[in-house]
């Protein structure tokens, strides 16, 4: 007959082996669980990096100048600083899988082990799917312990004053204060575009919406205005995400003019069951995790979710609790969250009502 230590070791191995069997499926479920995750996957934003103290990206901010001259002109020369380095720290999160000897013994029969494994691991899988989506919408800088991964509100901040909304969608500190990639947002070349129904044009990237009206009245002209600002006839946004109220308001306003135009991602989003339409070639959708009246205009070519493939939905060994019959395994992920090295390619709108 198998001894108790043999049973424990067998279940230890069975849990880990079963997790690795479903690990790829779990990652697929995460990256197809919401329209935002599907966009990250579709646009190739998931970028692997094994180890390293930081995640770094070169940022071009300076520009050399030409000189006009004619015969006899005295020419000048000047070394212009052209590049700097943006740096992001790794963040870690995990979910725990707990066991106790009592449950191990009760579920040791040949017909119960599979159900036992499935029940424990399904709970971990569901937690990862739901919480990862929440992390990517939140504002990482809101959390003072620096454990929160960067979210959407970090790469495209919103608001005009420091505040902290409970869901993490706090204001930007964009004009002064917090940084993106350890570079202060006080530099105009390091800011995303921002507009609100009551905003004033405080600087080059903080623009007033042309209507100064609530979204039910001024959404279409406001959206067109900030879209063109972000585009600048250079590189337009290709994904627009907002809260459900604004999405439905847009549908109401353009319902009699709406053309069914689908790009490759919009078709894929529809196949996955997500509501999505197209605005000027960009896929437009909504997220239930955006509780405020916010709209994000993103160029997904300049959004990255860096992750370490060796520490990505990876299980640790089992750890026994001292003087108890319980043990725990952790499923760990390593990522800084969302990063961008071209904030000017993104924009945001905020409505007070």
- Residue-level pLDDT at 111: 57
Other CB atoms closer than 10 Å to residue 169's CB: what's the count? 25
Place of tokens 């999405």: 247
Q: Is the pLDDT of residue 200 over 60?
A: no
- Residue-level pLDDT at 297: 94
The pTM is what?
A: 0.80
Mean pLDDT score of the chain, rounded to an integer?
77
Where does the pLDDT of residue 203 fall: very low under 50, low under 70, confident under 90, or very high at 90 and above?
A: very low
For the segment 129-179, what is each residue's pLDDT rounded down to a tens digit? 778 878 888 776 555 557 788 888 888 876 543 333 323 333 333 333 457
- 307 DSSP β-pair partners: 48
Greater pLDDT, 210 or 266: 266
> Nearest-5° angle of CA 82, CA 152, CA 172?
70
The residue-averaged pLDDT of 94-123 equals 73
């Amino acid at each position: 007959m198998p001894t108790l230590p043999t049973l424990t070791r067998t279940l230890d191995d069975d849990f880990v082996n079963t997790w690795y069997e479903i690990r790829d499926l779990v990652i697929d479920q995460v990256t197809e669980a919401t329209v935002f995750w599907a966009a990250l996957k579709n646009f190739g934003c998931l970028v692997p990096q094994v180890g390293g103290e930081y995640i770094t990206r070169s940022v071009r901010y300076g520009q050399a100048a030409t000189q006009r001259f004619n015969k006899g002109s005295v020419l000048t020369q000047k070394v212009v600083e052209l590049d700097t380095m943006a740096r992001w720290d790794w963040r870690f999160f995990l979910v725990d899988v707990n066991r106790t000897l009592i449950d191990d013994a009760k579920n040791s029969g040949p017909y119960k082990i599979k159900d036992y494994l499935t029940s424990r691991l399904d709970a971990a899988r569901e937690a990862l799917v739901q919480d990862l989506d929440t992390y990517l919408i939140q504002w990482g800088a809101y959390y003072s312990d620096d454990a929160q991964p960067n979210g959407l509100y970090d790469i495209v901040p919103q608001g005009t004053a420091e505040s902290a909304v409970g869901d993490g969608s706090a204001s930007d500190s964009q004009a002064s204060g917090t940084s993106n990639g350890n570079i202060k947002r006080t530099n105009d070349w390091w800011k995303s575009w921002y507009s609100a129904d009551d905003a004033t044009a405080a600087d080059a990237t903080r623009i007033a919406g042309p209507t100064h009206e609530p979204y039910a009245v001024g959404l279409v002209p406001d959206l067109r205005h900030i879209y063109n600002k972000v585009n600048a006839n250079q590189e337009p946004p290709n994904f627009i995400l907002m809260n459900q109220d604004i999405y439905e308001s847009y549908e109401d306003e353009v319902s009699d003019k709406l053309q069914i135009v689908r790009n490759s991602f919009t078709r894929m989003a529809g196949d996955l069951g997500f509501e999505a339409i197209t605005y000027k070639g960009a896929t437009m959708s909504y997220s239930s995790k955006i509780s405020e009246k916010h709209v994000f205009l993103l160029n997904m070519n300049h959004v990255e979710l860096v992750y370490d493939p060796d520490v990505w939905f990876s299980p640790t060994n089992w750890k026994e609790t001292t003087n108890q019959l319980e043990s725990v395994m952790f499923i760990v992920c390593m990522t800084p969250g969302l990063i961008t090295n071209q904030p000017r390619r993104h924009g945001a709108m905020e409505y007070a009502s």
